[in-house]
Structure 1
Amino acid sequence: MEEKDVTIYDIARELDLASSTISRALKNDPKVKLKTRNKVHQMAQKMGYQSNPFARSLRNKRSYLIGIIIPRLTNHFVSSAISGLEDMLSIKGYNIIIGQTYGQIDKEISALKMLMDNRVDGLLVSLSDQTKSPEHLDPFTKKKIPLIYFDSVPDITDSSVIVIDHAQAAYIATKHLIEAGCKKIAHVTTGISHGICADKYAGYKKALLESNKRLKEELLVFEDLGSIESGKHVADHILKMNKPPDGLFFENDHCAAGCIAGLKKGGLNIPKDIAVVGFNDEPVATLIDPNLSSISYSGYEIGRVAAQNILLQIENPEMPKISKTVLPARLVIRESSIR
């Protein structure tokens, strides 16, 4: 005879608790005392209880899946944001499906189709560098699937966004290089026409103009910023210049670290000859010699806030879908820019 599956009602009888308490405890609902949650989990394990996500999905007309589109998992900021997302979503019994775009729009479109096929209840998106306009996300908004952009967001949207003030952060970084005595500051970027790249360029430009410094085309260095190797390409470019800059502002720490290594190999002293500031405060910032000054902000906090907002929208379908949350960023000054 086939053994009957253990239910929350069986656990409730064993512990003399309400079935609703058992249900909340198994979801790690903070409304249930930690001691009670631990007791319920121990009894569930002892009795061989297994949750039935399919039954729950049918009952509540939800998949309990949240889709996440990100450029690269190897990015420290992104991995921290994922941790913040998971910590918040797991409390409510949600799982995540990740689509990794590697900064390419065709992979972004493919990942979005995969998430739509999996019937996600909500979508969190950090756009690829190639995405100038997010029309390919229209199927989600048409189906009224909650959508929130974080970090890399569109210029215009009818959805919620969670960001830092990239323009202000870039302004602070460039201003620091000016105050360190740099006369000729270059900006290393993937582009200046849209998204967070345009915001960072705006901050760089504002700091220069305020200090009566001219914008020069040769001081914009365009490079794919995803690796240390790309930074070495930037170093090669700078070493070939007749009059190289004495300050560098990067929008990515890995590229900045690779550039520092390449410039030192080429015989330049950092920061005496060229002062350097990066962005994101990745672990590599404290591994390179000299340690890299960088804009720091919490990926974990952005992920946590994004998860809170997407859950609010899922559980309250009538609430407004347009909002903007701006989280703080700060400059961490290290040896690479102290002159």
Structure 2
Amino acid sequence: MRKNQVTITDLARELNVSPSTISRALNNSPFISEERKRVILDLAAKMKYSPNQLALSLLNKRTKILGVVVPEITSYYFSTAINGIQDKVGSSGYKLMISQSNESFEEEIRILEAMALVRVDGFLISPSSNTVNFDHLEKLRDSGFPLVIFDRDCLGFDIDKVVVDDYSGALQAVEYLIQTGCKRIAHISGSTNLSTAKHRKNGYIDALLKNNFEVLEELIVCGEDSSSESGVASMKKLLELEELPDAVFCYNDAIAIGAMSVIRENGIKIPDQISLVGFDDEPYSSYFKPSLTSVWQPIYDLGLLSAKILLDKLNTDVEDMKYRFEVLKPELVIRDSSRKLKE
């Protein structure tokens, strides 16, 4: 059975003073003598008094809780971003309420509505792959909730955002493949709804055009999702072509790993016959045979900066602060799955 929590009234009854006197002493009021404060604080410690955080939040009109919504919690990418958020928020007195949408637009709406009902102070949101309508986010913004969109951009929706320069990362990767002598470079894309997939595909296309390569639709395969299974299915389609690609740039590492398994099963040598490049630089990428060339993203910093922007909004009285759009730079990490530059 749960014990009754000690209240200010209990302390007041013990010392035969008013509850307001106890409250002022606990809040270090200058109108209470130091001796009286010491007596009250000693009793509070003895009786194991702790303030009612819910009551304090209602009094201050803040819950000191931030809502975090991501497509999935268990992936390396989003768990690392959450670590960055937690490390920034940890010393601020705020707590996190974390939930995952499982890439469902409907679930994302339900989660945000539930968090709004318990009056979280602000939101950090990475939209689902099926989020193409932003009415629910506009509703939150217009209701006075500060929110920061991170990782996946909501194109056309005006709010604070922190993203990685996916376009630049893709451009780096494909230009490197071209520099190593690859002539027929394929691309396995992610979901067409994702801003990250669109930017990476655009980077791939522009790298080809910049180097006077023809963009061939047969070499661009759109995966159903971002999984290794999608990489398997997409790579099988590419291997059915009359002329095989000599390089494949993949939307992410999971897709690249799926593609790698199909390439190896067909007796094709990596990178001698097909170079392979992923995106995200997941920890497992360096342990595959061959180790995977990939585009590293500053994921931890993404979470850290997103949390900082939200805290800045919560800790300022300025209502017309301009929205920030921060873009972090990725880097290509070269390993054994791609050919080396000729010396």
Same fold (TM over 0.5): yes
- Superposition deviation, residue 192 in structure 1: 4.8
**1:152-196 Cα deviation digits (max 9, x unpaired):** 011122211111111111101111111121111111112456612
Distance in 2 (CA, whole Å) between partners of 1:48 and 1:271 is 66
- Superposition deviation, residue 19 in structure 1: 6.5
The answer for the alignment partner of 2:337 in structure 1 is 336
CA contact (8 A) 2:6 2:49 kept: no
CA contact (8 A) 1:235 1:263 kept: yes
Deviates more, 1:312-321 or 1:195-204: 312-321
Distance in 2 (CA, whole Å) between partners of 1:116 and 1:4 is 30
| Gaps in structure 2 of 5+ consecutive residues | 12-24, 29-43
The answer for the alignment partner of 2:39 in structure 1 is none
- Superposition deviation, residue 257 in structure 1: 0.9
Deviates more, 1:186-195 or 1:65-74: 186-195
Deviates more, 1:82-91 or 1:231-240: 231-240
- Superposition deviation, residue 223 in structure 1: 0.8
- Superposition deviation, residue 59 in structure 1: 2.2
CA contact (8 A) 1:67 1:97 kept: yes
Amino acid at match of 2:186: A
The answer for the alignment partner of 1:58 in structure 2 is 58
Amino acid at match of 2:94: Y
For residues 203 and 52 of structure 1, do their structure 2 counterparts lie closer, same or farther at Cα, with a shift above 3 Å needed? Answer: same
Distance in 1 (CA, whole Å) between partners of 2:329 and 2:223 is 27
- Superposition deviation, residue 51 in structure 1: 4.9
For residues 193 and 205 of structure 1, do their structure 2 counterparts lie closer, same or farther at Cα, with a shift above 3 Å needed? Answer: farther
- TM-score if structure 1 supplies the norm length? 0.84
CA contact (8 A) 2:73 2:99 kept: no
Superposed, 1:111-126 pairs within 5 Å as: 111-126=111-126
CA contact (8 A) 2:294 2:334 kept: yes
For residues 271 and 145 of structure 1, do their structure 2 counterparts lie closer, same or farther at Cα, with a shift above 3 Å needed? Answer: same
Alignment pair present for 1:76 and 2:79: no
Amino acid at match of 1:324: F
For residues 51 and 227 of structure 1, do their structure 2 counterparts lie closer, same or farther at Cα, with a shift above 3 Å needed? Answer: farther
Alignment pair present for 1:296 and 2:292: no
Distance in 2 (CA, whole Å) between partners of 1:116 and 1:226 is 30
Deviates more, 1:181-190 or 1:99-108: 99-108
SS of 1:57's equivalent in the other structure is helix
Distance in 1 (CA, whole Å) between partners of 2:74 and 2:296 is 17
**1:20-39 Cα deviation digits (max 9, x unpaired):** 79xxxxxxxxxxxxxxxxxx
Superposed, 1:87-166 pairs within 5 Å as: 87-166=87-166
Amino acid at match of 1:271: P
Distance in 2 (CA, whole Å) between partners of 1:253 and 1:50 is 48
Alignment pair present for 1:323 and 2:324: yes
Amino acid at match of 1:162: V
Amino acid at match of 2:337: S
Amino acid at match of 2:213: K
- Superposition deviation, residue 45 in structure 1: 9.5
CA contact (8 A) 1:122 1:147 kept: yes
Flag the structure with larger Rg. Answer: 2
The answer for the alignment partner of 1:35 in structure 2 is none
Amino acid at match of 1:122: G
| Gaps in structure 1 of 5+ consecutive residues | 10-17, 22-43
Identical-pair percentage = 34
SS of 1:335's equivalent in the other structure is coil
SS of 2:205's equivalent in the other structure is helix
For residues 276 and 20 of structure 1, do their structure 2 counterparts lie closer, same or farther at Cα, with a shift above 3 Å needed? Answer: farther
- Superposition deviation, residue 321 in structure 1: 4.4
Superposed, 1:260-279 pairs within 5 Å as: 260-279=260-279
Distance in 1 (CA, whole Å) between partners of 2:314 and 2:230 is 41
Q: How many residues align?
A: 308
- Superposition deviation, residue 279 in structure 1: 0.7
Distance in 2 (CA, whole Å) between partners of 1:45 and 1:297 is 48
**1:94-135 Cα deviation digits (max 9, x unpaired):** 111223122222222222222222211101111122222312
Amino acid at match of 2:124: L
- Superposition deviation, residue 150 in structure 1: 0.7
Superposed, 1:112-261 pairs within 5 Å as: 112-192=112-192, 195-261=195-261
- Superposition deviation, residue 249 in structure 1: 0.8
CA contact (8 A) 1:158 1:321 kept: no
- Superposition deviation, residue 245 in structure 1: 1.0
- Superposition deviation, residue 253 in structure 1: 0.5
For residues 182 and 305 of structure 1, do their structure 2 counterparts lie closer, same or farther at Cα, with a shift above 3 Å needed? Answer: same
- Superposition deviation, residue 301 in structure 1: 0.9
Root mean square deviation, CA, Å: 2.6
